[in-house]
Amino acid sequence: VPETPDAVLDGLDPEQREVALALHGPVCVLAGAGTGKTRAITHRIAYGVRAGILQPATVLAVTFTNRAAGEMRGRLRQLGATGVQARTFHSAALRQLQYFWPKAVGGELPRLLERKVQLVAEAAARCELRLDRNELRDVTGEIEWAKVTQTVPADYPAAVAKTQRDAPRDPAVLAQIYSTYEQLKRDRSVIDFEDVLLLTVGILQDRHDIADHVRGQYQHFVVDEYQDVSPLQQRLLDLWVGDRDNLCVVGDASQTIYSFTGATPDHLLNFRTRHPGATVVKLVRDYRSTPQVVHLANGLLSQARGRAADHRLELVSQRDKGPEPVYAEYPDEPHEAEATARRVRDLIAAGVPAGEIAILYRVNSQSEVYEQALADAGVPYQLRGAERFFERAEVREAGTALRGAARAGRNDSLLDGAEDLAAQVRAVLSTKGWTTRPPAGSGAVRDRWESLAALVRLAEDFETAKPGATLTDLVRELDERAAAQHAPTVQGVTLASLHAAKGLEWDAVFLVGLTEGMMPIAYAKTEEQIEEERRLLYVGVTRARHHLSLSWSLARSPGGRASRRPTRFLNGLRPGSTAPGARGGAGGGGTGGGGGIDRGTGRSAGAAERRSEAVERRPRQPVRCRVCGRTLTDAGEMKLMRCEECPSDMDEALYG
Ligand code: ATP
Ligand code: MG
């Protein structure tokens, strides 16, 4: 614990110190990734409390996750400041609501709804719709979006049209489910998560006596990650603050990656207009990453467009030079995964702790091939924000169905006419509602489809590696892989989606699968969606302290058509590429530096090589349609690896 209040300011740079000393009036900190914004506001509160300027009980610090709130309380304690409320919007509102409900409404606060999705299912059933679990999750997510953007059912269709959202259902139908769901909640006197904020807002708006009471208690407000604030949270914040102005917000518009949940950086970017007297501090010194990593992050932002990009801040690394980012191109995904696992193993051998290494990808279904490669290499790992591939509900369900089909064998009418292993898998999965054509848009239905598509690919690869294998062999293989993945691990390498990596940092970061179709993801269509994808890559790059690797593969599987291209976001940044808008071809302005692209066909005799050798040695296989599995005879079709009749969406959606 620092001995004096002034000692709390030690270890802050001049701009961070300015933030810590601006204890009155509105303060807005516009800060890039890794510039110490969380550190600056934590020290600000601690300094104010230790110097006797802020009464701890009157300070409300708001963060977006319980983990972040807990971390802030911990840091405050270390700095000798106790008694400050550090909470999420939700927990702060719930506390107030419980306190004021008897006076404002009478009786006890209604019970919090535990099984929201079940009630949405009931509402859908009343609208004569039977939705499966994943469709329900998507519809539920959409209702949540409507509520946090304060959109009532009647206004929902217009809001969809205005924001160009990919609604999971016809907007008129969704509005009907939404309104029925609200009615059901009223009938049963239960409230949901969003109602906690909505009801608090309603009471503070209508009851001035109660609003005054709350304002009497809290006089200083601090909000971290302000770029992620939803319109509803902003409304609540406005009511808390009232006509006072002791509000300090921190954010980075370039890290807005949750706009699909209603978050918007507009509040951050409009802060100065709303609070003309605000102290605005910009932090540009990056304490997290090496100059090389920061150079690439700046390069990515320099190509960004849109409102957030107009406010980008050039970061200046405070660290010593480190290694150049590694750009690596592989012939196919197994090569990419196995080379990545090999590099991870080398780093660990060189002394980098496994817990300081992360492999980040765009969608969770990409994890499987990396889980496998790490398991093969004997490297411990853990998944963040997602279930391990073989533990996902849909993969477990599919496994059960495949086991059942393997037992039923040839007598099962389902398998009639299915002449090869992958076609049998497709046939079994079709009973689980899996279609070869990907569902439109993003969300749980799409995630489930992606996992099952990954399972089909796994079956195809297994069939290629082991010609003549049966469904029973496949089931055994799946069980073995699941068991290998299941091994408990401590402090392993982190596998995470880019979304789940936000706010975290590692010594070494591998950004993998950086192909068009994955980055940007195929369903990102509008310029806004594309820009959010670019910000996602920026978030990924800025997680790295020292080592950064960016990789992609040209085909999915060994021997497949090399039709993929590296992400457009690295054009002009990776060596040998041309900047967007620049004329001329190869050799254009690669500003990323570094030793060129590692065409990682692999020199060492790793598992990837053994696997591809096995592929080369196998007897020539008939070429089959990648969608329906039919054996192809037409030369044109064979080249495409797809029949004329089969849709190409699957390839395009998945592989760009
Ligand atoms: P993000 O954008 O990812 O949320 P942030 O801006 O909140 O990042 P912090 O997490 O506060 O950044 O800090 C990033 C890293 O830099 C941390 O490891 C922190 O300890 C370190 N750091 C911040 N400020 C300083 C400083 N003045 N001197 C030394 N290290 C610092
Ligand atoms: Mg932070």
Q: Residue of the nearest CA to atom 16 in ligand 1?
A: 287
Report the pLDDT averaged over residues 54-61.
96
The answer to whether 32 is annotated as binding is yes
Give the ligand whose atoms come closest to the C-alpha of residue 33: 1
Q: Residue of the nearest CA to atom 24 in ligand 1?
A: 36
pLDDT tier at 629, thresholds 50, 70, 90 = low
Q: CB of 273 within 8 A of CB of 266? A: no
Q: Residue of the nearest CA to atom 28 in ligand 1?
A: 11
Report the pLDDT averaged over residues 80-103.
90
Q: pLDDT by residue (tens digit) across 432-483?
A: 778 888 887 777 788 888 889 899 988 988 888 887 888 888 988 888 787 7
Domain spans, the chain: 5-94+197-280, 111-188, 321-380+491-621, 391-481
> What is d(CA 110, CA 105) in angstroms, rounded to the nearest whole number?
11
Which pLDDT value is given to residue 485?
66
> What is d(CA 630, CA 609) in angstroms, rounded to the nearest whole number?
29
| Residue 528 neighbours by CB under 8 Å, 6+ apart | 164, 259, 306
Q: Which fold has domain 5-94+197-280?
A: Rossmann fold (3.40.50)
Q: What is the CA radius of gyration of the chain?
A: 27
Q: Could you give phi then psi for residue 323, rounded to 5 degrees?
A: -70, 155
Q: Is the CB of 43 under 6 A from ligand 1?
A: no
Q: Which atom of ligand 1 is nearest to the CA of 504?
A: 3
Which pLDDT value is given to residue 28?
97
> What is d(CA 332, CA 259) in angstroms, rounded to the nearest whole number?
32
Q: Is the CB of 295 under 6 A from ligand 1?
A: no
Q: Is the CB of 36 under 6 A from ligand 1?
A: yes
- Chain CA centroid to CA 121, Å: 26
Please state, as a whole number, how many other Cβ atoms lie within 10 Å of the Cβ of residue 656. 19
Which pLDDT value is given to residue 111?
85
How close is the Cα of 251 to the center of ligand 2, in Å? 8
Tell me which architecture the domain covering 321-380+491-621 has in CATH.
Answer: 3-Layer(aba) Sandwich (3.40)
Question: With 90 as the cut, is the pLDDT of residue 418 above it?
Answer: no
How close is the Cα of 29 to the center of ligand 2, in Å? 12
- Using the 8-state DSSP alphabet, how is residue 467 labeled? T
Mean pLDDT of the chain: 84
Q: pLDDT by residue (tens digit) across 338-384?
A: 999 999 999 999 999 999 999 999 988 788 899 999 999 999 898 86
The answer to whether 466 is annotated as binding is no
pLDDT tier at 656, thresholds 50, 70, 90 = very low
Q: CB of 325 within 8 A of CB of 292? A: yes
> What is d(CA 424, CA 70) in angstroms, rounded to the nearest whole number?
50
Q: Is the CB of 558 under 6 A from ligand 1?
A: no
0.95 exceeded by pTM: no
Residue 73's H or E segment, with its range, is helix 66-78
> What is d(CA 367, CA 2) in angstroms, rounded to the nearest whole number?
44
Q: Which atom of ligand 1 is nearest to the CA of 13?
A: 27
Which pLDDT value is given to residue 164?
78
The answer to whether 33 is annotated as binding is yes
Question: With 90 as the cut, is the pLDDT of residue 36 above it?
Answer: yes
Sequence-ordered alpha helix ranges (H) in 275-392: 291-302, 307-310, 333-349, 367-376
Which pLDDT value is given to residue 624?
64
| 406 to 409, 425, 430, 475, 477: CA distances (angstroms) | 5, 10, 15, 8, 13
Q: pLDDT by residue (tens digit) across 487-522?
A: 544 579 999 989 878 778 899 999 999 999 999 988
Which pLDDT value is given to residue 623?
64
Q: Residue of the nearest CA to atom 2 in ligand 1?
A: 33
Question: Locate tokens 């039977």: which residue?
Answer: 130
* Sign of the C-alpha dihedral computed for residues 123, 128, 133 and 135 taken in this order: negative
Q: CB of 145 within 8 A of CB of 258? A: no
Which pLDDT value is given to residue 90?
87
Q: CB of 428 within 8 A of CB of 405? A: yes
The answer to whether 37 is annotated as binding is yes
Question: With 50 as the cut, is the pLDDT of residue 592 above it?
Answer: no
Question: Locate tokens 């614990």: which residue?
Answer: 1
One-letter amino acid for residue 193 of the chain = F
How close is the Cα of 38 to the center of ligand 1, in Å? 7
Predicted-complex ipTM score: 0.99
Instruction: Pick left, alpha or beta for residue 190 (phi over 0 → left; psi -120 to 50 → alpha; otherwise beta).
Output: beta
Q: pLDDT by residue (tens digit) across 196-219?
A: 999 999 999 999 999 999 999 999
Using a pLDDT cut of 90, give the percent of the chain over it.
51
Nearest partner of 394 among 461, 438, 444, 463, judged by Cα = 444
> What is d(CA 257, CA 264) in angstroms, rounded to the nearest whole number?
9
Which pLDDT value is given to residue 558?
86
Question: Locate tokens 């469904």: which residue?
Answer: 471
Sequence-ordered alpha helix ranges (H) in 86-207: 89-104, 116-126, 133-148, 156-163, 171-187, 193-206
The answer to whether 34 is annotated as binding is yes
Q: Is the CB of 485 under 6 A from ligand 1?
A: no
The answer to whether 472 is annotated as binding is no
Q: CB of 432 within 8 A of CB of 398? A: yes
Q: Mean pLDDT check: name the lowest of 59-73, 236-250, 580-594, 621-635.
A: 580-594
The answer to whether 386 is annotated as binding is no
Give the ligand whose atoms come closest to the C-alpha of residue 255: 1
Give the ligand whose atoms come closest to the C-alpha of residue 31: 1
Which pLDDT value is given to residue 590?
38
